[in-house]
Amino acid sequence: MIELLAEGIGQRFGRRVLFRGLGFSARGGETLAITGSNGSGKSTLVRILAGVMRPTKGSVTLSLPSGPVPEAERPFVTGLVAPYLNVYDGFTPRENLEFVARARRLRDAARRIDAVLERVTLADRADDLVGTFSSGMKQRMRFAAALVADPPLVILDEPTSNLDEAGKRTVRGIVDSCVAEGRLVLVATNDADEAEACDRTLSVTEFR
């Protein structure tokens, strides 16, 4: 069973407190929406949960069927999709994903890359420069980069921002398939419909 447990998470920057005493648990096969107004700390919490930032207080534990994941390794088993994570415009999708595969030391990289490009419907553009892509296509590239390693934990920060309805449906389909595969999906969002589609909601503002 995949489980993410956050206990007593607090974050401050100088005198500014974003949240304190924040805690929850979530398991594979479900979706959890992280909500809150702009500036409430959603993206900061996302970074903490993904393991790329340490909180001021508290702890985060990701457990897999093989046991708890060491804190330093959590980023390598987490697929993070966020608008501040850029793909390289001067590379093709295949080249972008080859870079990710080398960084994560993935075996069978070519097969994984072909499969994930098919999954995000970019297989026919695999060898075109990403710089020629629309914002929606670049967002699908971010999903491809996050999913190529088959992560048990998928964290999405404003995944449908700047997407049209077709793009939002594509994202919803990817999320649904991740859940069906038993992954845990967290969605940080200001979109009421997007939050409503999740199984549960965690409001960051409740932990001020």
Contact 156, 175 (CB under 8 A): yes
pLDDT of residue 12: 94
The pLDDT of residue 208 is above 90: no
Q: How far apart are CA 178 and CA 201, in angstroms?
A: 18
**pLDDT grade for 39, boundaries at 50, 70 and 90:** confident
Return the residue matching tokens 């590379």.
Answer: 91
pLDDT, mean of residues 123-135:
95
Quick one: pLDDT at residue 161?
A: 79
Query: What are 51-89's pLDDT values in tens digits?
Result: 999 999 999 999 999 999 999 999 999 999 998 888 999
The answer to whether residue 36 scores a pLDDT higher than 80 is yes
Query: What pLDDT score was predicted for residue 166?
Result: 83
Mean pLDDT of 96-109: 93
pLDDT in tens, 158-195: 998 778 888 888 888 989 999 999 999 999 999 898 99
- pTM of this structure: 0.93
What DSSP string describes 7-62? EEEEEEETTEEEEEEEEEEEETT-EEEEE--TTSSHHHHHHHHHTSS--SEEEEEE
Residue 1, pLDDT > 90, answer no
43-61, pLDDT tens digit by residue? 999 999 999 999 999 999 9
Q: Mind listing the domains of the chain with CATH numbers? A: 29-54+70-207 (3.40.50.300)
Q: What is the CA radius of gyration of the chain?
A: 17
Q: How is residue 131 written in tokens?
A: 């710089």
Q: What integer is the mean pLDDT of 152-162?
A: 91
